[in-house]
């Protein structure tokens, strides 16, 4: 992991996200790029499709300027100016923010995003589908940071949601930098075609890659698997959840798998997702 891209907006939560990304970059001697991107205020206004007068345009420009300054100030207070690159989406490209973020992520090893929070009035205008769009369109492992809480870049306990799929396998591979440092690794699986999923192959693969922590195995039972994963993460005090991201775009709407949707909506722990 030598290149990390973190999305920054105008919310105070960006500082938490940026601090976590900086800690990861330092731990892995990686280059960090902070990508500032919010939609222009003019595009976010409900009357954006209608002609607006000069006063509304000036107000929107001032909002954009203040948001950018607030985000840049938070970046510099954390020492990011000395340890990371700062880039910003072009103002005229704000309406295509997910596309530009995904494109820049193509040459990064890890993308760090924040959980979407519709109640955060300070972040600036963000597309509700920014997270799934960036994960799926970039194809890159993505660490999604919850909208509340503080987190450790090197958690002692990691929870891996496992099933025999491409997405879960890619998530497991992307999690190796955390797995090799963890003291406890918890593997959780449900059933496939009515049969329990075997843990043997994934546990053996981890050991081949130098994972030395204690490996515990957990069945998810019959309850909703998304809720079961969140409950298990709390029970084992996991500092990271890793899982495949299941979803696709259809007619400009995102169709997400049930577990993916539950985790993105209700996450309480940083979650590493891979599509």
Residue keyed to tokens 């709390």: 234
Instruction: Mention every residue, 6+ apart, whose C-beta is less than 8 A from residue 271.
Output: 143, 144, 240, 241, 242, 243, 263
Alpha-carbon distance values, 174 to 74, 120, 236 (Å): 29, 30, 21
Closest CA to 88 of 9, 15, 141: 9
CB 107 within 8 A of CB 3: yes
| H helix count then E strand count, the chain | 11, 14
Compute the distance between CA of residue 69 and CA of residue 67 in angstroms, rounded to an integer: 5
Q: Taking the domains of the chain in order of start, what are their residue ranges?
A: 3-145, 157-274
CA distance 62 to 1: 38
Which stretches of the chain drop beneath a pLDDT of 50?
47-49, 92, 251-252
Q: Where are the beta strands (DSSP E) in 59-154?
A: 84-88, 110-114, 142-145
Domain 157-274, CATH? 3.40.50.620
Pairing label, strands 247-250, 253-256:
antiparallel
To which CATH superfamily is domain 3-145 assigned?
HUPs (3.40.50.620)
**pTM for this structure?**
0.91
Residue owning tokens 């601090």: 19
Do strands 271-274 and 240-244 pair parallel, antiparallel, or not at all (unpaired)?
parallel
Q: Per residue in 56-78, pLDDT tens?
A: 567 778 888 999 999 999 898 88
Three-state DSSP class for 52? coil
Q: Report pLDDT digits (tens) over 117-144.
A: 989 988 888 988 899 989 999 999 999 9
Structure tokens at 217: 């195995």
pLDDT of residue 92: 46
Q: Where are the alpha helices (DSSP H) in 166-250?
A: 166-174, 176-179, 200-208, 225-235
d(CA 220, CA 131): 26
pLDDT at residue number 241:
98
3-145 shares its CATH topology with 157-274: yes
The rounded Cα 118 to chain-centroid distance in angstroms is 16
How do 84-88 and 214-219 pair as beta strands? unpaired
């Amino acid at each position: 992991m030598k290149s990390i891209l973190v999305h920054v907006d105008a919310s105070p939560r960006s500082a938490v996200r940026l601090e976590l990304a900086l800690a990861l970059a330092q731990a892995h001697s990686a280059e960090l790029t902070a990508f500032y991107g919010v939609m222009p205020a003019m595009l976010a206004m409900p009357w954006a499709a209608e002609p607006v007068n000069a006063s509304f345009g000036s107000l929107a420009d001032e909002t954009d300027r203040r948001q950018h300054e607030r985000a840049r100030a938070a970046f510099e207070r954390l020492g990011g100016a000395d340890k990371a690159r700062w880039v910003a989406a072009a103002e005229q490209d704000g309406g295509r923010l997910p596309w530009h973020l995904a494109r820049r992520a193509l040459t990064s090893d890890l993308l760090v995003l924040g959980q979407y929070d519709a109640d955060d009035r300070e972040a600036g205008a963000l597309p509700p589908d920014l997270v799934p769009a960036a994960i799926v369109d970039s194809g890159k492992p993505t660490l999604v940071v919850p909208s509340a809480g503080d987190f450790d870049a090197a958690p002692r306990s990691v929870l891996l949601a496992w099933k025999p799929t491409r997405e879960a396998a890619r998530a497991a591979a992307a999690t190796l930098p955390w797995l090799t440092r963890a003291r406890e690794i918890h593997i959780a699986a449900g059933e496939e075609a009515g049969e329990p999923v075997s843990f043997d192959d994934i546990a053996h693969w981890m050991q081949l890659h130098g994972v030395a922590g204690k490996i515990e195995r957990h069945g998810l039972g019959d309850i909703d698997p998304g809720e079961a994963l969140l409950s298990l993460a709390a029970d084992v005090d996991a500092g990271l959840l890793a899982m495949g991201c299941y979803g696709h775009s259809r007619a400009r709407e995102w169709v997400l798998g049930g577990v993916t949707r539950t985790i993105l909506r209700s996450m309480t722990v940083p979650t590493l997702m891979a599509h």
